[in-house]
Every structure is written in structure tokens, then in C-alpha cells.
Amino acid sequence: MILYLRLLGESLQFALNALRNNKLRTLLSLLGVTIGIFSIIAVLAAVDSMDKKIKDDLSDMDMNTIYLMKFSFGPSEVPRWKREQFPNVTYEEFETLKRSVNGVDKMSFNMFTRNENIKYENKTVNSIRVKPSTNEFFDIESFKIESGRLFNESESNSGSPVIVIGSEVAEGLFGNSNPLGKKIRLYGQKFTVIGVLKKQGQGMFGDSNDVAVFFPVNFLRRMYGDNNQSLTPAILIKPEKGIDIEEFKADVSQKLRTLRGVKPGEINNFFMNVLSGFTDFIDNIVGQMNMIGWVISAFSLLVGGFGIANIMFVSVKERTNLIGIQKALGAKNKFILFQFLFEAVILSLIGGLIGMFLVWIIALVLSSALDFEFVLSASNMLLGTGLAAFIGLLSGIIPAITASKLDPVEAIRTGM
């Protein structure tokens, strides 16, 4: 064990000497490993950060929550022309399903629509996310109130002109003053502010509630009706805990098919989007992005491996005389083999550590500059280290075997 520790120390010394004595050659050779490890770890860190952000954004919602609507969250086998003929879900269907479907914890009716401008006196906040819904939506998605309250069932059913605003909307319209009870203008109508949400931060899809407002969906239905092209209605269904989700989906599907008069054998003219299925779709995209990153980075690692092999062949040639002397003094073949293998691994690790250090610096800079946390996980760092060591081992094996098989007499004579 002590022998191998001494061997490791000597190899480290040889590797550092190679860096000092042949700075440009070594730098150019290590550049491939550095770029390769940087590329892989940067891609993995970016994808992991994106994946973590998406999962965090969805963590407040039950993964079994169903979005019942005319559109699909992911790819669909239904032809586009046929999907475009699907009717929107209606408020009447929402009320019927709410009464007839068993196993429902909460069910809400929402409308997705374009962003709008909101005014208070002479102040305007532009491009605000408008989220009309029934009051049950607040029980499906977790909301944290900074001040005031959320609208209740009575206000929801009657379509009262009350509104709950995000923290950035409140700051933009009212500054440091209390917004509760103030009248703001939206769609040319006056709404009374009854609540302000706690600051949430930027969502992965740019859908932060900080720049959103919530009001009763029936207010918008009363203004525009149910057939406005700029409105996309959806029924959100949160099943009870522990329920068989597939049986529940089948029950909902059958009842809506009956309501719509869909005949047996015909496909559904609606989509049941489940958040757990959406996360599976995201996981698939994340896996594909990781694969693309690996393929691109493999070329850099290949070049880096050739660079390390080049350094080791030159190192063997330069130290041929020394190898001969070592073998003449009794050094075994495996001693010479491990000496050059350790040196190759150490050189590759130096390149890999530089690459990971660059990723860490860039992650810090981007996390500070953007409202997004880039995560360089310990698993990715271990992966980078292991990959660098593997590249060094792979690149150094042939030069090391060549060095270990040198004849001592010929090696000394060649060196002289």
C-alpha cells in the first residue's frame, strides 16, 4: 500500500512537471478534456436545474390533478384537423360533472386567456396574466395570502367584480400603500382588490403568480359569453386521496361522453391531461436533452483523450532512459505501468476539474444575474470526476503498456 502511495505521489510530481515544463503543449492537450467535461457537466447542470424548477413549480399541485379541455398537454395521436373540431368544455358540463362524479375532492372551472393591462388612477401595469376561475381553484393550487382574502363561493357564483392580485402587480400599482379596497380597471370594468398574494418568484414557464390576477370566471362569462375565441375554458379536477386514478378517469370520461352524446366506438372529443403524465413528458424531454448533450460532448472528450495519449507518448519517449534505469535497478513492469497510468489519470483529472470549476463559476454568475437557480449537484461533480479519470485511464493505457514493456538495456542505450 505504501509503495502505491509513493507511486501516486511520484506520478503526481511527473504530471505537474509536465505541466510546468511543457505549458503550451500540455494546455492544448488538456483543452479537449476541459471542454468535454465542461460541456457534459454544463448540459447536465442546466437540464437538472430546469427539471428541478419545473418540479418545484408543480409541487404545490396534486400530480393526479386532471385538466379537462379541448387541447392536449403533450403529443397526441389524434390528427390536428380533428382536434381543431373538438368543442370547448362548458360551465354547464362543469356543474353536471361536479354533481355526478364520485371521488372528487375539488373541481374548478377556469379560463385561459391573453394577458391584459391593469390600471389604477394614472398608473398602468402591462401584460398581466389574467386567471379567471371559480373559487375551488384556490383549493386545487396552493395559494399564500400576504394580506386580505381570496374570493368566496358566493362571489364566484355571482361573478362579483372582486380581484386578488400578485405581489408585483400590487407594487406596480400601489407602491407601498395598502391596495385592499382600492378600485382597479380591467377590461374597462372596475374591480375591488380584496387580496394580495405572497411573492412567489419566477415560474419555469414564466407563469409566476406575482404578475397575475384572479377574479370570478362568471364575471368574464357574463361579459363575453362562452364562445369567445380568445378564451379557452378548462375543468380542473382534483381526485380524493387514495382513489384509483384510472377508474376515476374512466368515470369522468364516460359521464362527459354521455353528456356530449359520443357514440360507442368513437374517440373522445376532449382531452384528460393529468399532471403526472405531464411530468413524465417533461422527464422524456429532459432525457433527450441529456442524450444530445452527451453526444455533443463525446466529440470533445474524444479529442481530449487523443490529447492525453499524445502527452503520454511524448512523456514515454522523453523518459526512455529513466525507464531503463528504473528497470535495471529492479523496477517491475507493473510499477512502470502504474506510474504512467497514474500520470495520465492525474493530467485528465486536472483538465476535468478545470472544466467543472468553469461550470461552477458560470452557474454562480447566471444564478446572480437571472431569477433562476442553476444547480451543480454533487452527483454531477462525481460524474465529471469519474469521467475525467476514465478518459485518462483509457488514453494512458497504451502508452503505459508501451513503457512497461521496454527492454532496460535498449531503453538506456536509446536514451543515451
Of residues 341 and 158, more confidently modeled: 158
How far apart (Å, rounded) are the C-alpha atoms in residues 358 and 380?
14
Is 372:54 a contact under the CB 8 Å cutoff?
no
Domain ranges of the chain: 2-57+281-415, 87-269
Q: Which one-letter DSSP state was computed for residue 206?
A: S
73-77, 93-97, 190-194, 281-285: which range is least confident on average? 281-285
Share of residues in the chain with pLDDT > 70 (%):
85
The grid cell for 44 is 447536465
pLDDT of the residue at 281: 66
Give the Å distances, CA to CA, from 403 to 1, 26, 121, 326, 392. 22, 20, 83, 11, 16
Longest dimension (CA), the chain: 100
Is 311:26 a contact under the CB 8 Å cutoff?
yes
Mean pLDDT of the chain: 81
How far apart (Å, rounded) are the C-alpha atoms in residues 73 and 51?
17
Q: How confident is the model at residue 16 (pLDDT cuts 50, 70, 90)?
A: low
Name the range with the highest mean pLDDT among 5-9, 12-16, 44-48, 76-80: 76-80
The CA-to-CA distance between both ends of the chain, in Å, stands at: 34
Of residues 134 and 339, more confidently modeled: 134
Phi-psi region of 74 (alpha: psi -120 to 50; beta: other; left: phi over 0): beta
Of 291, 399, 396, 404, whose CA–CA distance to 349 is shortest?
396
**pLDDT digits 0-9 by tens, 253-305:** 999 999 999 888 889 899 988 876 666 666 777 777 777 777 776 776 777 77
Task: Tell me the torsion sign for CA atoms 61, 64, 65, 67.
Answer: positive
Alpha-carbon dihedral angle through residues 82, 83, 86, 89, given to the nearest 10 degrees: 170
Q: How confident is the model at residue 332 (pLDDT cuts 50, 70, 90)?
A: confident
How far apart (Å, rounded) are the C-alpha atoms in residues 208 and 201?
6
Alpha-carbon dihedral angle through residues 62, 68, 73, 74, given to the nearest 10 degrees: 110
- For 130-152, what is the mean pLDDT? 90
Of 183, 194, 390, 375, whose CA–CA distance to 298 is shortest?
390
> What's the Rg (C-alpha) of the chain?
32
pLDDT at 204 over 50: no
pLDDT at 57 over 70: no
Of residues 23 and 234, more confidently modeled: 234
Residue type, position 114, single letter? R
Q: How confident is the model at residue 183 (pLDDT cuts 50, 70, 90)?
A: very high
The grid cell for 57 is 413549480
Of residues 230 and 147, more confidently modeled: 147
The 3-state DSSP composition of the chain as helix, strand, coil percent (nearest 5) reads 60, 15, 25
Of residues 177 and 37, more confidently modeled: 177
- For 48-54, what is the mean pLDDT? 73
Q: What does the buried/exposed string (b/e) look like for 168-183 if buried means 16 or more CB atoms within 10 Å of the residue's CB?
A: bbbbbbbeeeebeebe
